[in-house]
A and B are shown apart, each in its own frame.
Chain A
Amino acid sequence: MDTTQLLKGVLDLAVLAVLREEDGYGYDILRRLRDAGLAEVGDASVYGTLRRLFAAGLLTTYVVPSESGPHRKYYSLNAAGRDQFARSGQLWRSFATTMDTLLDDRGRAA
């Protein structure tokens, strides 16, 4: 099992987490995820996730024009997005705790 497979399940949560700190555009969000340690996340995964979360009504967008070069489409959490983040975050914490316990028990038994 590698990080890519784990990422599939939690990329939504990761993107929501990044956006809770600060609004961002696609490539910016990718960079922040990678800087946070998720080095294996791909551009298409982030772009696709953003499209899906937006379609689900969890995000709002606004465009910031640029003097030189392309304009950026920023994504930000709306109320539904923040709600979702809270629930998903809780779920993840309890799941992660379960996994930690499991690994610790087994580790002790081994």
Chain B
Amino acid sequence: MTVTEQEIVDYVARVRGALGDLPPAIRDELTEDLPEHFAVVAVESGGTLVERLGEPEAYAVELRIAAGVGAGRRPVTEELAAFVSRVHARLNTLDRQLGRSLGYPTVRAFLHLLTPGWWVLRGYLATMLLAVLTTGLNGGIGLLPRFEGNLLLGLMVLAALVVASVMLGRREARSRTWPGRLLVLGNLVLVGFGLAALVYLDDRRGGGDYYAPISVDSRYDHIRDVFVYDTEGQLVDYARLFDQNGDPIRLGYPDCDDVRDVINRDEIGSANPLLRGYPYCPEAAPFGPRPTTAASPPGLPAPPGTVRPDSVAPPTVPETSPAVPPAPPEAPPTSAPAPSVAPTG
């Protein structure tokens, strides 16, 4: 046998495909016997099915005429149009169903009420786009338009463009010509810009805000670094300071020479060195002992009740040190257990 099972299956599938516009019941009834019929054709004649019967699509046309089920195959454009109208009808149904749950006849009717709002938003987006195009992103975009930093000019342009957008919106319904299409394109550009700006602003919130609020006033401007010592007199590394609201307190700035080494050593990479914690420059600690590179704090604990001869230079209670910056009202929990561990001599 030269005709395989698969060839028959494929041929039937293509015939059915060519009859795809028929109602399913009619198509099934018309084609249900085809596999068996083709199997008989295959055993009683030579050659492939296509050689014996012609292309499946031509077979379908002939079958359609002989069985008297509608005209010939519709052209592709018509099928596309039929598909579009089917989708359209489906959307219309959905439109009505969803609209009812909103309390409106259709979702479209509800959205139509929002169009003036869109016109205003469009004017705003156009202003912001203009501001970004003329000024660039150097200063970053905020929520108000600034032209080269000029807010007043930005607001004037905003007012003008919002009015223009509303006027345009009131005329828009009439224009179905190519300027109308241009307008649609412009709208899409503005929506795209708006979404991009949202993502941009959201990114900035995620990355930068962590150390942005500086809850310290100018009295502490002269402070360049913060050194925190525990009750053992050990310099605390990677210390972080917070105020009563949980906002990080930022003092000073890593301006020592080897700050790059510090950053590299801590594998912070190119991230904000401020995220590392205090001190920024451990080498510049005013009191010893300096933190060794290895894990030193658990390494040599002073036995309670003994005085370590070499390293007791700093006072055991850090609050008295003049180099320690103002501690926040609720500092990290290093200060609490001080009295019980303090050596009594």
A69–B3 alpha-carbon span in the complex (Å): 12
Contact partner of A11 (CB less than 8 A), chosen from B36, B40, B41, B66, is: B66
- Cβ of A62 within 8 Å of any chain B Cβ, yes or no, is no
> Is B36 touching A48 in the complex (CB atoms < 8 A)?
no
**Among A47, A71, A73, which residue has its beta carbon within 8 angstroms of that of B66?**
A47
Instruction: Give, as a whole number of angstroms, the nearest-CB distance from B73 to chain A.
Output: 13
Contact with A26, one of B29, B37, B43, B60 (Cβ below 8 angstroms): B37
- Nearest CB in chain A to that of B26: its residue: A55
Q: Is B43 within 8 A of A70, CB to CB?
A: yes
Q: Is the interface of A mostly helix, strand, loop or mixed?
A: helix
- Chain A 29-70 interface mask (CB, 8 Å, partner B; 1/0): 001000000000011111111011001000000000000011
| Residue A27 at the chain B interface, CB threshold 8 Å | yes
| Chain A residues, CB < 8 A from B45 | 27
Check if A87 is an interface residue, CB within 8 A of chain B: no
Q: Which of A31, A42, A52 has the largest count of B CB atoms less than 10 A from its CB? A: A42
Given A44-B63, A46-B66, A27 and B33 contact (CB-CB distance below 8 Å): no
B62 touches A42 (CB 8 A): yes
Q: Which positions 58-110 of chain A face chain B at CB distance < 8 Å?
A: 69-73
Question: Do residues A48 and B40 form an inter-chain contact, with CB atoms below 8 A?
Answer: no
B66 and A70 contact, CB distance less than 8 A: no
User: A3 → chain B, closest Cβ, in Å?
Assistant: 14
Q: CB-CB < 8 A to A43: which residues of B?
A: 41, 52-53, 59
Most chain B beta-carbon contacts within 10 A, residue among A11, A46, A70, A71: A70
Chain B residues whose CB sits within 8 angstroms of the CB of A55 once the complex forms: 29
Q: Do A48 and B37 touch (CB < 8 A)? A: no
Supposing A55-B29, A69-B43 touch, asked if A47 and B68 sit within 8 A by C-beta, the answer is no
B31 to chain A, nearest CB (A): 9
A52-B68, A55-B29, A73-B33 known; A47-B40 Cβ under 8 A: no
Instruction: A69 to B33: give the CA distance in the assembly, Å.
Output: 16
| Interface residues in B, total, Cβ within 8 A | 25
A51 to B19, CA, bound (A): 15
- B64 interface residue (CB < 8 Å to A): yes
CB distance from A43 to the nearest CB of B (A): 5
B36 contacts A45, CB within 8 Å? no
Total number of A residues with any Cβ neighbor in B under 8 Å: 22
- Whole-angstrom CA separation of A49 from B69 in the bound complex: 11
Could you tell me if A49 and B40 are in contact, using CB atoms closer than 8 angstroms? no
B30 within 8 A of A: yes
Residues of B within 8 Å of A49, CB to CB, are 66-67
B78 on the interface (CB 8 Å rule)? no
* CB pair A48 B63 closer than 8 Å: yes
Complexed CA–CA distance, A47 and B63 (Å): 7
Identity of the chain A residue whose Cβ is nearest the Cβ of B60 in the assembled complex: A44
Question: Closest approach, in angstroms, between the C-beta of B219 and any C-beta of chain A?
Answer: 97
User: How would residues 15 to 41 of chain B score, 1 for a CB under 8 Å from any chain A CB and 0 otherwise?
Assistant: 000000000000001100110110111
Q: A25-B40, A27-B41, A51-B29 are in contact. List 7 more A-B contacts (CB 8 A).
A: A26-B33, A26-B37, A42-B62, A43-B41, A43-B52, A51-B30, A55-B29
13 CB contacts below 8 A, A to B, read A25-B40, A26-B33, A26-B40, A26-B41, A27-B37, A44-B60, A45-B62, A47-B37, A48-B30, A51-B30, A52-B67, A55-B29, A73-B33
Chain B residues packing against A (C-beta within 8 Å): 29-30, 33-34, 36-37, 39-41, 43-45, 52-54, 59-68
Which 10 residue pairs spanning A and B have beta carbons closest together?
A: A48-B66, A70-B39, A48-B67, A44-B62, A44-B63, A45-B66, A48-B63, A44-B59, A69-B43, A52-B67
Interface residues of A (CB under 8 A from B): 8, 11, 25-27, 31, 42-49, 51-52, 55, 69-73
